[in-house]
């Protein structure tokens, strides 16, 4: 003979093992809300493009600074719209930028850079007597700023 459990009603016509319509609709509404919030954030890559280009730029600035500290002439970087290039003694450098095929780095589509040309002094690697600000921005409106501190050349 079958025993009756605590949550079972004998001879009941209803089965309590399934989901109610309210529970199913609630789950679908929650999934819809999460989709509306998460999917647009996943497809907007301009934030990540600017952040990655900022890290690459910092690496290239440190490279130019290191070269200036190791040499008897100044090294630097010149910015122009969607690219920048390595300079040696205020002319195009004969050396490639790290992880690039030339002395010029082209930014990802939709990312642009603005700032004045940076020259690091020989032996000391100083950018000069004033802070230098370089801004990378995306078409979507996100931007990042790189600051080179006067005298010390600290890049942040």
Residues 106-139 pLDDT 10s: 999 899 999 999 999 999 999 999 999 999 999 8
Q: Is residue 20 part of a domain?
A: no
Alpha carbon 33 to its chain's center: 27
Q: Is residue 12 part of a domain?
A: no
Q: Which CATH number fits the domain that encloses residue 89?
A: 3.55.40.10
Q: Is residue 50 part of a domain?
A: yes
- For 4-23, how does the pLDDT look when each residue is reduced to its tens digit (9 = 90+)? 555 555 555 655 678 899 99
pLDDT beyond 80 at 149: yes
The answer to whether the beta carbons of residues 68 and 120 sit under 8 Å apart is: yes
The share of the chain scoring above pLDDT 70, in percent, equals 87
Tally of structural domains, the chain: 1
How far is the CA of 78 from the CAs of 40, 89, 125, 136, 148, in angstroms? Answer: 35, 12, 16, 14, 14
Instruction: Tell me the pairing of strands 132-138 and 91-92.
Output: unpaired
Which one is predicted more confidently, 137 or 140? 137
Where in the sequence is the domain holding 116, given as residue range(s)? 46-148
Predicted confidence at residue 10, as pLDDT, reads 57
Predicted confidence at residue 22, as pLDDT, reads 94
Mean pLDDT score of the chain: 89
Q: Is residue 103 part of a domain?
A: yes
Question: Region 93-105: what's the mean pLDDT?
Answer: 95
Q: Is residue 37 part of a domain?
A: no
Predicted confidence at residue 45, as pLDDT, reads 81
């Amino acid at each position: 003979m079958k025993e009756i459990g605590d949550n079972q009603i004998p001879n009941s016509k209803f089965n309590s093992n399934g989901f109610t319509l309210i529970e199913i609709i609630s789950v679908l509404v929650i999934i819809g809300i999460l989709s509306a919030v998460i999917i647009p954030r996943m497809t907007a890559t301009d934030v990540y493009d600017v952040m990655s280009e900022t890290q690459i730029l910092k690496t290239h600035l440190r490279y130019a600074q290191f070269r200036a500290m190791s040499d008897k002439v100044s090294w630097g970087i010149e910015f122009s719209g969607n690219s920048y290039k390595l300079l040696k003694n205020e002319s195009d450098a004969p050396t490639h930028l790290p992880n690039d095929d030339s002395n010029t780095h082209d930014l990802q589509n939709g990312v642009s850079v603005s700032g004045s040309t940076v020259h690091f002094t020989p032996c000391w690697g100083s950018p000069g007597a004033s802070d230098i600000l370089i801004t990378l921005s995306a078409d979507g409106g996100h931007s990042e700023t790189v600051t080179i501190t006067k005298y010390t050349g600290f890049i942040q």
